[in-house]
Amino acid sequence: MAFYNIRSWFILIGIVFTLASCSEQEIVINDNGSPNGKAIYKQNCKVCHGGKGDLGIGDAADLSASKKTFQEKLYIITNGSESGKMTSYKGVLTEKEIAAVTAHIETLIK
């Protein structure tokens, strides 16, 4: 019985340290109630496109060199790419969130 209590404490301490080490996520809604495109990008796009848009994991487009218009980017994020490499975010993100992410992507262009 004493072993169980000690083991439980170690598990609890491990959980506490794990939770404490998790970094706080950026707020996805700005103070004015509008979506935070940068934070949404970090949560959904950074894995493949990288923080600066130039990572290109799994044939992801280099967003920092994109020549697409705002509307073309908006369409691809909403519906996915024709090649199927980029997934659709319709139903995952709202129209306003997709527009905010698209606006953030515009800031990544070199």
Which of 81-97 are b and which e, b meaning 16 or more Cβ less than 10 Å from the residue's Cβ?
A: eeeeebeebeeebeeeb
Q: Which CATH architecture has domain 26-108?
A: Orthogonal Bundle (1.10)
What is the CA angle 52-53-58, rounded to 5?
A: 130
| Residue ranges in the chain whose pLDDT is less than 50 | 1, 19-21
Give residue limits of the domains in the chain. 26-108
Amino acid found at 88: S
Tell me phi and psi for residue 109, to 5 degrees. -70, 130
pTM: 0.75
Q: What is the pLDDT of residue 1?
A: 47
